[in-house]
């Protein structure tokens, strides 16, 4: 059974503020009119995209992305968003948002840290083939609206990357306070110094109150998804940071290690089988992109290159370098 995602009540606020007819939206999306009379509206990942695409047909996509970001921060009420505003800093808040993002829609966040900056990259959930540029732009804009709302002060990002139609828009440039770069993968980057400034909205007691309920809701959402799919998605994100244990994957999926292992058992696989499969698929992809063997070993969370070489040989019957030569020849 595919996962279903709840349309936040704030969604109705966005429709009202932008003067958009919900009936037209449902009709354009090709969904059942009965959704208009349902208190808690849930949709599959593909249906969520149809709703968003319908809105882009009814309203200017650039203004829709910026307006939705601002309204979601200021007027939409979601336990996941409210709990994030209770965080001590943006760095902690965005990590919490990443964990509970599937409560808000069929997408997730990839976080990349260096010594100086934190980059947030919106990505589609496993059940989606892609994330529309307008939806990725809305998520990037949301991050800007969110940090500004929590600090009650405008924070200029170090870098913003968007598709050309968004990056070249003057309204977008004004919204972020920087000139966005154009690129296929939308992202926003902040200095770590700014991400670690204390939130004025910090409230640890409220977080303690909300966290158990968020965990429960996430478990319900993920229960509808394949354990193998969840494990693969988590590993693809975790491996480059050096994490490959079932404990790390369980934490990312909001399950206990025992529960995750039990669900994998029910699908007739072991955690090690999934780990090996993901590593093998990624290794082949990296080699075909001409990534150096030591770098591949690092990206797949191997402590030594020799360990990776032995593993690859067990998968393909040859060393990574031999596979690389064969690929170049072909």
Q: What are phi and psi of 121, to 5 degrees?
A: -120, 115
Contacts of 194 (CB under 8 A, 6+ apart): 90, 147, 155
pLDDT, position 99: 87
Q: For residues 25 and 247, give the distance between their C-alpha atoms in angstroms, rounded to a whole number.
A: 42
pLDDT, position 271: 95
pLDDT in tens, 146-197: 999 999 999 999 999 999 999 999 999 999 999 999 998 999 999 999 999 9
State the average pLDDT over residues 118-129: 88
pLDDT in tens, 60-96: 999 999 998 888 887 655 777 878 889 999 999 999 9
pLDDT at 138 over 80: yes
pLDDT at 119 over 90: yes
Q: For residues 133 and 139, give the distance between their C-alpha atoms in angstroms, rounded to a whole number.
A: 10
Q: Are strands 107-113 and 181-182 parallel, antiparallel or unpaired?
A: unpaired
pLDDT at 225 over 80: no
pLDDT, position 37: 64
pLDDT, position 75: 61
For the chain, list the domains and their CATH numbers: 5-195 (3.90.1520), 226-330 (1.10.10.60)
pLDDT at 230 over 70: yes
Q: For residues 134 and 65, give the distance between their C-alpha atoms in angstroms, rounded to a whole number.
A: 6
pLDDT, position 198: 96
Q: For residues 239 and 151, give the distance between their C-alpha atoms in angstroms, rounded to a whole number.
A: 32
pLDDT band for 14, please (50, 70, 90 cuts): confident
Measured over all CA atoms, what is the biggest interatomic distance in the chain, rounded to whole angstroms? 61
Q: For residues 2 and 13, give the distance between their C-alpha atoms in angstroms, rounded to a whole number.
A: 27
pLDDT band for 293, please (50, 70, 90 cuts): very high
Q: For all residues of the chain together, what is the average pLDDT? A: 88
Of 254 and 106, the one with more pLDDT: 106
How would you list the strands of the sheet with 181-182, edge to edge? 107-113, 117-124, 187-191, 159-162, 181-182
pLDDT in tens, 15-45: 889 999 999 999 999 987 767 766 667 788 8
Percent with pLDDT over 70 in the chain: 94
pLDDT, position 77: 58
pLDDT, position 122: 94
Percent with pLDDT over 90 in the chain: 53
pLDDT band for 227, please (50, 70, 90 cuts): confident
pLDDT band for 223, please (50, 70, 90 cuts): low
pLDDT, position 267: 83
């Amino acid at each position: 059974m595919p996962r279903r995602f709840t349309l936040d009540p704030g969604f109705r606020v966005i429709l009202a503020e932008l003067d958009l007819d919900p009936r037209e939206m449902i009709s354009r999306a090709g969904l059942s009119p009965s959704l208009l009379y349902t208190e808690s509206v849930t949709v599959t990942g593909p249906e969520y995209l149809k709703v968003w695409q319908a809105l882009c047909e009814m309203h200017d996509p650039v203004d829709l992305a910026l307006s939705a970001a601002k309204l979601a921060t200021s007027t939409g009420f979601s336990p996941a968003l409210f709990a994030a505003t209770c965080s001590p800093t943006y760095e902690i808040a965005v990590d919490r948002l990443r964990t509970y993002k599937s409560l808000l829609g069929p997408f997730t966040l990839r976080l990349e840290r260096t010594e100086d900056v934190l980059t947030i990259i919106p990505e589609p959930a496993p059940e989606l083939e892609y994330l529309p540029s307008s939806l990725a732009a809305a998520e990037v804009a949301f991050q800007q609206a969110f940090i500004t709302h929590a600090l009650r002060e405008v924070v200029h990002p170090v870098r913003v990357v968007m598709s050309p139609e968004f990056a070249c828009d003057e309204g977008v440039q004004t919204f972020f306070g920087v000139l966005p770069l154009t690129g296929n993968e939308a992202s926003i980057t902040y200095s770590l110094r700014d991400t670690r400034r204390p939130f004025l909205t910090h409230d640890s007691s409220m977080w303690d109150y909300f966290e158990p309920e968020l965990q429960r809701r996430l478990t319900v959402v993920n229960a509808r998804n394949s354990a193998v799919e969840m494990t693969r998605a988590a590993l693809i994100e975790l491996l480059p940071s050096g994490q490959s244990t079932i404990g790390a994957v369980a934490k990312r999926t909001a399950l206990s290690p025992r529960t995750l292992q039990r669900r994998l058992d029910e699908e007739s696989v072991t955690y090690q089988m999934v780990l090996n499969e993901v590593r093998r698929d990624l290794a082949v992809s990296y080699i075909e992109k001409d990534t150096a063997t030591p770098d591949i070993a690092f990206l797949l969370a191997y402590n030594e290159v020799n360990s990776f070489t032995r593993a690859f040989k067990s998968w393909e019957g040859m060393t990574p370098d031999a596979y690389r030569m064969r690929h170049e020849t072909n």
